[in-house]
Amino acid sequence: MAEARLAVAFQFQVTDEGEIKVHLDRRILVDVYRSIRRVIRRKLFKSRNAAIQSVFPATGISWSIFFVIFGAMQILGETSDTVSAIQDKIPQFGRLDPVTRTILVTLVSTTLLWLVWSFFLRNLLKLLLTYKGWMWSPHGKLSLPVKAWMGICKVIIGRRPKLMSLQNCMPKLPVPSVSETMNRYLLTVRPFVNDEEYARLRNLAEEFQTGLGKRLQRYLWVKSWWSSNYVSDWWEQYVYLRGRSPLMINSNYYCLDAIQFTPTHVRSARLANFITALMKFKNDIDRQTLAPRFAMGTAPLCCEQYPRTFSTTRIPQLVQDTIEHYVDSKHVALYSRGKWYVLNVIAGGRQLSPIELQKQIIWIEEASLTDVAAPGEADLSAMTSGERSKWASFRETFFSKGANKHSLNLIEQSLFVAILDDSEPGYDPENPDMLNNYAKGMLCGDHIWYDKSFSVVCFKNGKIGMNAEHAWADATIISHLAEECFNWDIELGYDSSGNCRGQPRDDTILSPPRRLRWDIPAEAVDQIAVARNVADGMKEDLDLHILKHDNYGKGFIKTCKVSPDAYIQIALQLAHYKNQGKFCLTYESSMTRLFRSGRTETVRSCTSESCAFVRAVLDKQPIVLQSQKEECKALLKSAVNRHTDLFRESMSGKGVDRHMFCLYIVSKYLGEESPFLQEVLSEPWRLSTSQTPYGQGTHTDLRKFPDRISAGGGFGPVADDGYGVSYIIAGEDNIFFHVSSKKASSHTNSRKFAADISEAMQDIRSLFQ
């Protein structure tokens, strides 16, 4: 495309008289200039940010201070010994005039001392950040030592650090002792095993701790010394990339738009504005102007996952997939009515404006009405939803050369994938299936490219949704991106007709979007049809229900003086017991991003304390007497405190599951068999839960704009006979629960479990009324 445009820019003609006439298209020359300027600016930004990161937390201001001090010392003659020493070592130095000599000594001495100062500050900050005692401080009642710690950290970090500046200052994830992990594990399994089973597990744990565990731990210690994080690389490799099961439902997750507010119902305008907002987020990452994340406003969170947000694709392989990140992507792969197109976001050396993008999208909408899809093109994305080894073999056989390879590369190397969907989802309190179908379409939609870091679906009525691949990053990154971009989309605004604001610029020649060409043989078309049928079967088996709990929310929970997350987790335990009549191993995702390259850890939220509370509530129903309420409230406080401690321990690197997972990987490397580890890691998570964070980005005042609440997102069930529950605390008065299970299981029913959650929430509230 670039070569063709250059050929048009420079044309010459030979007249009958032999005269040569040269025609230059000024607009294309301007485009070439802008492209060159853009490349140079990007490289300069990258070099500057790399330099800033290499010396952080030292700054240019501190270098200037050192320069002034050394300059004054030079003038006062305080550095004469240093000058004499340099003259002895470098005879040519003494031949310089005094002014030049003074400047050189000052520059060299300042820079050397400044680098030493940078090294000292970095390691001091790293040492300070190993302290995690602040997490145990009562909310709103920080002790004097904690306040002092926070003050020192803030002074060292400075006011506006770059996105990646703090990476070299992050402490490493500590390796807990085997004995600590065994003790914590036994505590977590005690609630749902009998005495005989518990004694057997305790014996296995003690045998492992005194035997093979010691040897495995030594190897793990060595790994922790030379790697930035002893868990994350193995977690990505063995849990995600070596997984052979389909990504759809099993791994990918989704997020939804604001369910009661749509800024425009013009689909092309909504997608154009949203793409512009996404590009702003990308530019902020590239230039590192996106503010790094902090816990309690002081402790930095690892931002290592952000650079792979855009232009990233999971490539299928027979044994282990790979993650490819492409640096120079300038286009979006867009699907419309069974056809694939390339939508250039950057043209003529600049980013297209929203109104220009809207015109390009309208062109695609109109073209897709008449264009004829190639055989197999409409359902090609179904291959990404299926079993990984089959997709890898199919890709190698039919898409390794020619037009198919070229078109596939354009999809995989795109910034992200966008899908124009002709359905009209939304929210209707009288018809809950409308919201359920919206979520189901985002988790297992027909045309989502499940390998991409994320895909954006824009519906006919202007609603937006996203589906994200899990290997490259965790849900906190995508939820941050979605929250920021939904807000920026509103800020960009629309005209009275619902179209994007502004007018296209006339100094850039915009080529129409390109149609991707395919030459898919009949055998491949048949395999694509089979993949579509398999995906349809998985989609039909998914039982997904969203509960909008608006009886009360965080506002009431805070009056109970308990953690909202812990409160909800205890409610989920009560609901699960109502639904299943028993307790089960429960997974709640927490983060370890307080450490370098940190990702997640498991909170085993079914505890002896939560079980005691559940039994008390159910045994005493209906709870009428105040004495009964006080007893249950005391048990609730105990369960909440225990859960909060578990969450803090997991964030501090003292969890159970990641440590045992890494010990298991070491055992496999060494060819050792551990019955204990095999049993522990094969235990099913019949209740898998996760909270979608809210308030990471530009905050929307939900009291002022209550219709802009987001329903968050969700994921599929981890166990075939279990539930997956994602929830988001939306403002003070709403909590959304995304409940998923499989219809094939006779033990689960998502709608019934959602009703049990609502009832459990009301049961707990009644204790405080």
* Enzyme catalytic residues: 470
CB count within 10 Å of CB 617 equals 24
User: What is the chain's alpha carbon radius of gyration, rounded to the nearest angstrom?
Assistant: 30
Handedness of CA 681, 682, 683, 688 (dihedral sign): positive
For 187, the token pair is 């505590």
Q: Where are the alpha helices (DSSP H) in 427-563?
A: 432-444, 475-492, 522-541, 554-559
Q: Which residue has the tokens 């009209």?
A: 424
At residue 683, what is the residue type? E
What whole-number distance in Å separates Cα of residue 214 and Cα of residue 207? 11
**CB hemisphere CA count around 657 (13 angstroms):** 28
Q: What Å distances lie between residue 459 and 418, 421, 441, 519, CA to CA?
A: 11, 5, 11, 29
**How would you class 766 by CB atoms within 10 Å of its CB: exposed for 0-12, middle for 13-18, buried for 19 or more?**
middle
What whole-number distance in Å separates Cα of residue 466 and Cα of residue 454? 7
What whole-number distance in Å separates Cα of residue 471 and Cα of residue 320? 12
**How would you class 576 by CB atoms within 10 Å of its CB: exposed for 0-12, middle for 13-18, buried for 19 or more?**
buried
The angle, 0 to 180 degrees and rounded to 10, between the axes of the packed helices 26-55 and 267-286 is 50
Q: What Å distances lie between residue 101 and 95, 98, 228, 549, 707, CA to CA?
A: 9, 5, 43, 74, 68
What whole-number distance in Å separates Cα of residue 186 and Cα of residue 103? 67
What whole-number distance in Å separates Cα of residue 269 and Cα of residue 696? 26
For 269, the token pair is 């305008």
For 616, the token pair is 């008390």
Q: Which residue has the tokens 């005690």?
A: 190
DSSP string, 450-466: TTBSEEEEEETTS-EEE
- 3 state SS of 22: strand
Q: What is the dihedral of CA 555, 560, 562, 566, to 10 degrees?
A: -70
Handedness of CA 638, 641, 646, 649 (dihedral sign): negative
- 3 state SS of 557: helix
Backbone dihedral angles phi then psi of residue 605, each to the nearest 5 degrees: -85, 0
Q: What is the dihedral of CA 285, 286, 289, 291, to 10 degrees?
A: 20
DSSP-assigned letter for residue 499: P
Check if the beta carbon of residue 588 is closer than 8 Å to that of residue 569: yes
What whole-number distance in Å separates Cα of residue 344 and Cα of residue 512? 9
DSSP string, 615-644: HHHHHH-S--SHHHHHHHHHHHHHHHHHHH
What whole-number distance in Å separates Cα of residue 435 and Cα of residue 50? 45
Check if the beta carbon of residue 109 is closer than 8 Å to that of residue 79: yes
CB count within 10 Å of CB 595 equals 26
